[in-house]
């Protein structure tokens, strides 16, 4: 291992990562991402914002080992990520991935049971995570009986129970209304503080990124690249009330300044963006 001692602070990293989807049925190949370099510091909350279709989700899936990069390397805890999701990485997706044939409790226990964790330990960890996610009273309910926000919490619980050290969130609140989104943001901050895990959050909402993150990466239109990385300097103890702070407005303002042109590009107003 050539890992220098200073790199102990780096939890995961992408080096020169690009992802090109081969063209199918006579279509041109799509250059979705990169090249991207990124170092995630151990224990930080990193937000990623960018116009739609800029490769944010591709970035997350490459980092998680769900997709192979076309070029470049991915490292997690000093080991290369190759073709499968490493132990210690948990992912929550934008779509509802709760299993409708299982109760909330069984959904949360799913990963532990497949991993062969013994029954007593499973019960302890599942009860604990359900209490933490505010799902205790719904343990026997089926996902279809819950709201979208609650179902997304079930998915978070199912991921948290495996005690991941790096949690990847792919627009988990994209389908929720704005108020619920702010409150779910508080929950994510709470779980980030308690677990001590490194969190990478993909979002299209600038306010969400500004409120939650220690650092925010602003991505360009496709092929996605980091144009700017903003440090927020928020205290570790924080919640959604910081949306009233002056600094919050400055951060979202800076992000929007970066992203406005890119968003226009991704919407096809290339000329307008160039004229400005």
The residues that touch another protein, with contacts defined as CB under 8 A, are 61, 64, 66, 84-85, 87, 89-91, 93, 95-97, 99-102, 110-111, 114-115, 142, 144-145, 155, 158-159, 162
**Cβ atoms of 109 and 130 closer than 8 Å:** no
CB of 95 to another protein, least distance (A): 4
CB of 85 or CB of 242, closer to another protein: 85
**Cβ atoms of 90 and 32 closer than 8 Å:** no
CB of 95 or CB of 177, closer to another protein: 95
CB of 170 or CB of 208, closer to another protein: 170
CA 36 to chain CA centroid, nearest Å: 16
The dihedral built from the CA positions of residue 185, 186, 192 and 195, taken in this order, carries a sign that is: negative
Measure CA of the first residue to CA of the last residue in the chain; give whole Å: 49
CB atoms within 10 A of CB 162: 17
CB of 85 to another protein, least distance (A): 5
Output the six-digit token pair for 171: 């627009």
Please name which of 266, 112, 97 lies closest in space to residue 169, comparing C-alpha atoms: 97
Q: What is the DSSP letter of 96?
A: -
CB of 137 to another protein, least distance (A): 17
CB of 21 or CB of 99, closer to another protein: 99
Provide the 3-class DSSP secondary structure of residue 6. helix
CB of 66 to another protein, least distance (A): 6
CA atoms within 13 A on the CB side of 13: 14
CB of 94 or CB of 232, closer to another protein: 94
CB of 113 to another protein, least distance (A): 9
């Amino acid at each position: 291992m050539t890992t220098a001692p200073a790199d102990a602070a780096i939890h995961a990293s992408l080096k020169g990562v690009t992802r090109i989807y081969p063209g199918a049925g006579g279509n041109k190949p799509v250059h979705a991402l990169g090249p991207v370099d990124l170092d995630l510091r151990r224990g930080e909350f990193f937000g990623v914002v960018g116009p739609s279709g800029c490769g944010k989700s591709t970035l997350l899936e490459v980092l998680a080992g769900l997709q192979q990069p076309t070029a470049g390397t991915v490292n997690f805890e000093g080991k290369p990520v190759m073709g499968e999701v490493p132990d210690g990485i948990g992912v929550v997706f934008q779509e509802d991935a709760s299993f409708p044939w299982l109760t909330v409790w069984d959904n949360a226990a799913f990963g532990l049971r497949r991993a062969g964790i013994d029954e007593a330990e499973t019960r302890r960890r599942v009860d604990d995570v359900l209490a933490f996610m505010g799902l205790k009273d719904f343990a026997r309910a089926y996902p279809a009986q819950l709201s979208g926000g609650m179902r997304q919490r079930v998915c978070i619980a199912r991921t948290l129970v495996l005690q991941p050290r790096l949690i990847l969130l792919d627009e988990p609140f994209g389908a929720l209304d704005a108020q619920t989104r702010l409150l779910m943001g508080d929950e994510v901050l709470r779980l980030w503080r308690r677990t001590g895990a490194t969190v990478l959050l993909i979002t299209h909402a600038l306010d969400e990124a500004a409120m939650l993150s220690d650092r925010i990466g602003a991505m360009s239109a496709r092929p996605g690249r980091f144009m700017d990385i903003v440090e927020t300097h928020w205290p570790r103890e924080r919640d959604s009330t910081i949306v009233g702070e002056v600094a919050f407005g400055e951060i979202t303002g800076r992000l929007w300044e970066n992203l406005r042109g890119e968003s226009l590009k991704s919407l096809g107003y290339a000329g307008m963006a160039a004229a400005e």
